[in-house]
Amino acid sequence: MAELAVNIDHVATLREARGGIEPDPVTAALIAELSGAVGIVCHLREDRRHINDRDVRLLRELVKTKLDLEMAATDEIIDIACDVLPDLVTIVPEKREELTTEGGLNVADNLEFYKSLVDKMHNRNIDVSFFIEPSEKQIEAVLQTGADIIELHTGTYANAKSPIDVQIELEKIVYAAQIGYNEGLIVTAGHGLDYVNISPIVSIKQITEISIGHSIISRAIFNGLESAVREMVELVRG
Ligand code: PXP
């Protein structure tokens, strides 16, 4: 059975639209926890377009389940992670001009650097997850870094239009989840998942956690956050 981690970035996006103090992503995190989320995810971007340094520090103080700091592997953010000590970091690629994370990280491309990053985090008892495409090459690279977790990018699956394309993308995720699990990695998944497309993903038994933000916060606008999280928790648990 999979569990749900809730990404609260988009609450901060709404706050930043007016540059004020509401809605507060920290309040959202606490409601998500009370509603059944097993983890809270936030992405501290270089440009601080949504989550800011104050949010991360307060979340570290208040989140009781598990704080997952999504981050690009830049010196500045690595230093913040080492100082704030989240339970885990998820390493993602980041481009200033993108609306959201556009795909998985190319771990194979910079193996030595990522190995030393994993060591640095492990020395501080921080688990490391790499957000990757569902590809054997990337899983093999992650294994060489000594990381704990792979988060499989589900965005291409979520965006696929025709049933055949959906099936092709799903099969890549099924295959990657199997390889990762067999190699002893914790396998999670996320990006673009919603109340409609989630069910084939949660039926992949090797995937133990799903990270979802946008669709939950979107539904929360109409139904309230507690109800939006509870409904997704039920779907994720299958
Ligand atoms: N996982 C990662 C690595 C992400 O970058 C994001 C988006 O911030 C998500 C999961 C959640 O994606 P979505 O907001 O589409 O649910």
CATH number at residue 124: 3.20.20.70
Ligand 1 centroid to residue 191 C-alpha, Å: 4
How confident is residue 23, by pLDDT bands cut at 50, 70 and 90?
very high
pLDDT at 35 exceeding the cut of 80: yes
pLDDT at 96 exceeding the cut of 90: no
Closest-lying ligand 1 atom to the alpha carbon of residue 43: 8
Angle at 150 between CA 148 and CA 153, to 5 degrees: 165
Q: Which pair of tokens denotes residue 72?
A: 């690009």
Identify whether 133 is a catalytic site residue: no
Q: How far does Cα 187 stand from its chain's mean position?
A: 12
Residue 92 structural domain: 3-236
CB-ligand 1 contact for 138 (6 Å cutoff):
no
pLDDT at 51 exceeding the cut of 90: yes
pLDDT at 158 exceeding the cut of 90: yes
| 3-state helix/strand/coil string of 81-98 | HHHHCCCEEEECCCCCCC
Closest-lying ligand 1 atom to the alpha carbon of residue 212: 16
Mean pLDDT of 60-86: 98
Identify whether 70 is a catalytic site residue: yes
Ligand 1 centroid to residue 184 C-alpha, Å: 24
Q: From the candidates 10, 33, 50, 70, which is the catalytic residue?
A: 70
Give residues with Cβ within 8 angstroms of 46, minimum separation 6.
72, 74, 76, 77, 94, 96
Mean pLDDT of 60-80: 97
| pLDDT attached to residue 99 | 75
Residue 31 to residue 224: CA distance in whole angstroms:
10
Question: Within 10 Å of residue 22's Cβ, how many Cβ atoms?
Answer: 9
How confident is residue 225, by pLDDT bands cut at 50, 70 and 90?
very high
Amino acid 34 reads L
Cis peptide leading into residue 25 (ω within 30°): no
pLDDT at 206 exceeding the cut of 90: yes
Domain count along the chain: 1
